[in-house]
Structure 1
Amino acid sequence: MAAKLSIQSDWDQVLRKPEGEAWISCKIAGKPTIYGTLKSNGNGPDGNPEVISSEEFVVHKVTKKNIVVSCPRLNISRKFVSPYTSFSRVHSKNVTCMDISSGGGLGVSTSTDQTIKIWQTNNGEIRRVLEGHIYDVYCCMFFPSGKVVLSGGMDAQVKIWSVDDGSCPVTLKGHKGGVLDLAIVDRGRNIVSCSRDGTARLWDCGQASCIAVIGDSSVPINGIAVGLADNAVNLGAPKETPSDREVGTEGKLLILAQEDKLLKGVGLHSRESIFVFEGSDAFNCCTAISSVGVLAGAQDGNIFHLDIRNPKIPIETINRTGSPVLSLVPFKDGYIASHGDGSCFITQQYSDEVLQLTGPDCESLYKVVAFEKNIYTCCRDGLIRKYQLTDL
């Protein structure tokens, strides 16, 4: 595990106060943790806090929402970014999943308060409450139009909702266990769901019917992703003539993140196995970051970067916290990863700088979503946080 630089979760609020003091620490496996402090020395001429650090750390730059700190002894530097705003009134309990509409104006989120809510991203005002699932709702996402929402839950059902009036015209039934993740194919005539029952299902939304069942094990599939594969990747050919209700599956790779430490790639059109990679622990999430690149996050904190043309040996394995990887999302030329200890990292492909979003105090960050230069996270503490990355 790489050196871990941590900062007090509410550092931005503390350092705005006269003589406010926040803690900072640096840890590397097998060595004693280095502890230090950051102390406010008032505001400078530009209105930003002037911060001095204890001797083991160096403060390089401070604004109202950003601070860059290094620990020279362990040769690590990090830019910490605090929330632009937080929405505390959307849900009353853990916020387990969320998504942002294609226009950026609306959010949808699920919670252990057993609700799905649609809200405005500018102020958190609730627009719709979607009711119909039994028990907890695990996952939700907008269709590309931004006018329709997809959800899945403990009741083994997938539901399709109207954003305009909150109605649920379509319910997809067939899974034998809770629905854990969802993916939309192209514009959304077809969608994919995965479940604790060990299967992924390809659905025709128009006829509310299952086109195909992919996977036949009893091992839960915790996460899925659909990506457009490079032409050089052989995705196989269907053994039978596909249904005319199947639209946009050609050239697509379905990635399955499984509880049994296996990451699988399947040709969505052919249903053929393309690769199987065995990781170090249960896989929680996955995403495609290019036509040949796949990321998968495991329970032990490992993030595996694979090239699907040669998936047996990872391009790299990253572990920043040792805490479960709960969410992965492509961002710019890199990606964002959220973890079970509340940490959230933005990695950029062509930069050594790693940004860390702050705010949660050791509470699980279940999902992260990016829209342009805004980042949204949802957390076990019941908050939805919004970050603005104006300098990226």
Structure 2
Amino acid sequence: MGKNITVAHIQYDFDAVLEEEHENDDGFYINVDRNLNEIKEYRIKVLANNEGVDAGEKNSFEKINSHLYMAQLNGQKFLFNTIKKDYSKMFEGADYTAVDSIKVPTKQFILGTTEGNIKVLDSNFSLEREINQAHAGEITKLKFFPSGEALISGSQDMQVKIWSVKDGSNPRSLIGHKATITDIAIIDRGRNVLSASLDGTIRLWECGTASTVHTFSRKENPHDGVNSIAVFVGTKEQLLESPDIKKRDLEFGTYGKHVIAGHASGVITVHDVFSRRQITQLPSKFTSSCNSLAIDVNDPNYIYAGYENGMLAQWDLRSPEHPVDEFSINEGVRINSVCFADEFLLVSSGLDTSIKFDITRDPKSQHPVIASKAPIFLVSDDNEVNQFCYTPHSESQKEVITVGKHNFFALYNLSSDVFI
């Protein structure tokens, strides 16, 4: 069942305990999940007079930089990344389910909630606008259009809606799906968008007319629910197989685009958006729902998929028979979200685990490799993360927003200029 990722959790306020001037025998805890039924607790004692900590015989705990800490416990290395800014108490009574950000015309953020509300925030995370009851059900996906002047939302109410960021008006509603909307992808400037649903379809919409241009589904099982989609530009070989015609009515920028979909069956399909063909199918390797997937933007032949049974897989679309690599995270516990960001992968697992994996390059083939030996655990108060949003501030500030249940809304700096 692939390589096992040993999961660790550290006391949420451990950094505050470290700053105490007096000796603290209680210190703070680090729990290591040896398996589903066995947890090993380590106590890190804080010594007086800033003399450091006592992690136990042959163990250690140290600060790497302003937000990164490393523990060596029983011969195993664990890394912990603290929160840069916790916004969870900014708004009351919300379980956050969706998030996105944009830099133009100004930096802004959007949040979706279980109640169907949308919050628009400015660059300082202050509330600019709230669209109450935007949907009759939970918001499942939010995205800014590239202009930053509009956003698009999907919901459990089976509808996709377009909103003005400036005044909160709703000029278009895209209606036709027969089950929960699970994901949305925008093509180029946004004249066309794709929406995925548990009804087994991916719809290509023309936003100006709010009409369905085409409906995609898995040809072997058209009712196989779609949990996650991503759009990428096809390779030269794939483009050669596309039809000679390069323009269709009500389509803008679809030529050369492919959409990949993770299904409830665990199967992953790839469709050529322009030619309408299903061109690739990856098998249900784990006989478990593919909950979330992400494209490696540095090499779109590679994708990362998270499954209901806790498996994380890396696939090469050129060799669809089996995964390139596979990992077990909290065996049997669902993976909620997978997000590729720059040169790392973010994974949310179960009720309380969020992990950053660095993506390195194989020295010979230069193919991407998941660096699984020293994953970095994002510190939180046992919060379940529903979605990640990569929002780099600069080269030295690779920031990520996480949102989830119980008002959880936090900003992490995941930069690391230290070789570990």
Could you report, residue by residue, the CA deviation over 1:329-379 in whole angstroms, capped at 9, with x for unpaired residues? Answer: 222223211222322222112265422211141x32100111111110001
- 1:68 and 1:78 in contact (8 A); partners too: yes
Displacement of 1:234 after TM fit?
Answer: 6.2
Report 1:351-390 matches (<5 A). Answer: 353-361=374-382, 363-372=383-392, 373-390=398-415
Match of 1:106 in 2: 108
Structure 1-normalised TM-score? 0.90
Q: 1:204 to 1:56 in 2, by over 3 A?
A: farther
Question: Partner amino acid for 2:281?
Answer: V
**Contact kept? 1:91, 1:111, Cα under 8 Å:** no
Q: How does 1:223-302 map to 2 (within 5 A)?
A: 223-233=228-238, 236-237=241-242, 243-277=248-282, 278-280=284-286, 281-289=288-296, 290-302=299-311
1:68–1:116 distance in 2 versus 1, CA, 3 Å: same
Structure 1 CA distance for aligned equivalents of residues 323 and 338 of structure 2: 17
1:195 aligns with 2:197: yes
Partner SS for 1:375: strand
Alignment of 1:121-200 (within 5 A): 121-122=123-124, 124-131=125-132, 132-200=134-202
Q: Residues 15 and 198 (structure 1 numbering): CA distance in 2 closer, same or farther, change over 3 Å?
A: same
Deviation, structure 1 residue 31: 9.3
Q: Which amino acid aligns with 2:130?
A: V
Q: Against the structure 1 CA distance between its residues 312 and 90, is the aligned structure 2 distance closer, same or farther, given a 3 Å change threshold?
A: farther
- What is the CA–CA distance in structure 1 between the aligned matches of 2:334 and 2:404, rounded to whole Å? 14
Tell me how far 1:230 sits from its aligned partner: 2.2
Q: Distance in 2 between matches of 1:10 and 1:360?
A: 8
Unpaired segments of 5 or more residues in structure 1?
Answer: none
Shift of 1:165: 1.2
Match of 1:28, SS?
strand
Instruction: Decide which of 341, 346, 363 is 2:351's aligned counterpart.
Output: 341
Could you say what secondary structure the match of 1:232 adopts? helix
In structure 2, the CA distance between the partners of 1:42 and 1:268, relative to structure 1 (3 Å rule), is farther
Look up the match of 2:338: 328
**Counterpart Cα distance in 2 of 1:93 and 1:134:** 15
Q: Tell me the amino acid that sits aligned with residue 79 of structure 2.
A: K
The 3 A distance-change label for structure 1 pair 11 and 188 is same
Q: Give yes or no for contact 2:67–2:413 (8 Å, CA) kept in 1.
A: no
Q: CA deviation at 1:239?
A: 11
Comparing 330-339 with 7-16, greater Cα deviation is found at 7-16
Aligned partners of 1:306, 1:90: CA distance in 2, in Å? 39
Contact 1:235 1:267 in 2 (8 A): no
Work out the CA distance in 2 between the residues paired with 1:142 and 1:42: 50
Shift of 1:97: 1.0
Alpha-carbon shift at residue 146 of structure 1 (Å) = 2.0
Report the count of equivalent residues: 384
The AA in structure 1 aligned to 2:110 is V
- Structure 2 Cα separation of the partners of residues 82 and 267 of structure 1: 41
Task: For 2:5 and 2:29, locate their aligned partners in 1 and report how far apart those are by CA, in whole Å.
Answer: 20
TM-score (norm 2): 0.84
Higher mean C-alpha deviation, range 352-361 or range 267-276: 352-361
Q: Which amino acid aligns with 2:108?
A: L
**Residue segments in structure 2 that go unaligned for 5+ positions in a row:** 361-370, 393-397
Q: Contact conserved, 1:199 with 1:214, CA < 8 A, in 2? A: yes
